[in-house]
Amino acid sequence: MTHSTSAKKNGFVKAASALVAVVLASTVMAGPAHAAVTITGSGSTAVKNLLDVCIPDYLKASGNTVVYAGGGSGAGRLAFTAGTVDFAFSDAAFGSTEAKPADFVYVPNVAFPIAIMVKLAGFTGDINLSAKTLSGIYAGTITSWNDKAIVADNNKTTKEPVYTKENVYSMRAVIDPKTKKAKKDKKGKTVMEKYVSGTKDVANGTKDVVVEAKLPATPITVWFRSDKSGSTGILTNWLTKLDPSVWTKAGSAGQQTFTSAFPGAALPAGTFQGASGSDGVANGVASKDGSIGYAETSYATERKLLVAKIENGAGEYVSPTPEATAVFLNNFASGARGTVVVDVASKVSGAYTLSSFAYGLGYGSSAKDKTKQAAVKEFMTYVLTTCATANAVSKGYSPVSGALAAVAVANIAEIG
Compute the distance between CA of residue 86 and CA of residue 373 in angstroms, rounded to an integer. 7
272 and 383 part of one domain: no
pLDDT in tens, 374-389: 999 999 999 999 999 8
Domain that holds residue 277: 114-157+209-328
CA angle 374/92/13 to nearest 5° reads 85
Nearest Cα neighbor of 287 from 295, 279, 277 is 279
Same domain, 371 and 227: no
pTM reported for the whole predicted model: 0.78
Question: 126 and 1 in contact (C-beta within 8 Å)?
Answer: no
Same domain, 127 and 245: yes
pLDDT at 251: 61
**Separation of alpha carbons 410 and 416, rounded Å:** 13
Residue 3 within any structural domain of the chain: no
Q: What is the mean pLDDT of residues 228-247?
A: 92
pLDDT surpasses 70 at 188: yes
Question: Do residue 47 and residue 136 come from a single domain?
Answer: no
Q: Is the residue at 1 inside a domain?
A: no
Read off the CATH number of the domain in which 297 is found.
Answer: 3.40.190.10
Clarify whether residues 308 and 215 are in a common domain.
yes
Phi, psi of 69 (to 5 degrees): -90, -15
3-class SS of residue 252: coil
Residues 263 and 388 in one domain: no
Q: Which of 328, 345, 378 is the endpoint of a domain?
A: 328
My answer on whether 184 and 240 are in the same domain is no
Q: How many domains does the chain have?
A: 3
* In a shared domain, residues 97 and 57: yes
Q: 320 and 233: one domain? A: yes
68 and 25 housed in the same domain: yes
DSSP letters spanning 281-347: HHHHHHHSTTEEEEEEHHHHHHTT-EE-EEE-TTSBEE---HHHHHHHHTS-EE-GGG-EE--TT--
Q: Does residue 85 surpass a pLDDT of 90?
A: yes
Q: Are 317 and 342 within one domain?
A: no
Burial label, 82 (beta-carbon count in 10 A; 0-12, 13-18, 19+): exposed
How much is the pLDDT for 169? 64
Same domain (yes/no): 143, 241: yes
In a domain, 97, yes or no: yes
2 domain residue, yes or no: no
391 is a domain residue = yes
| Residue 63 DSSP label | S
* pLDDT on residue 2: 38
Does 27 have pLDDT greater than 60? no
Query: Has residue 178 got a pLDDT over 70?
Result: yes
DSSP 144-158: BTT-HHHHHHTEEEE
Predicted pLDDT at 57: 95
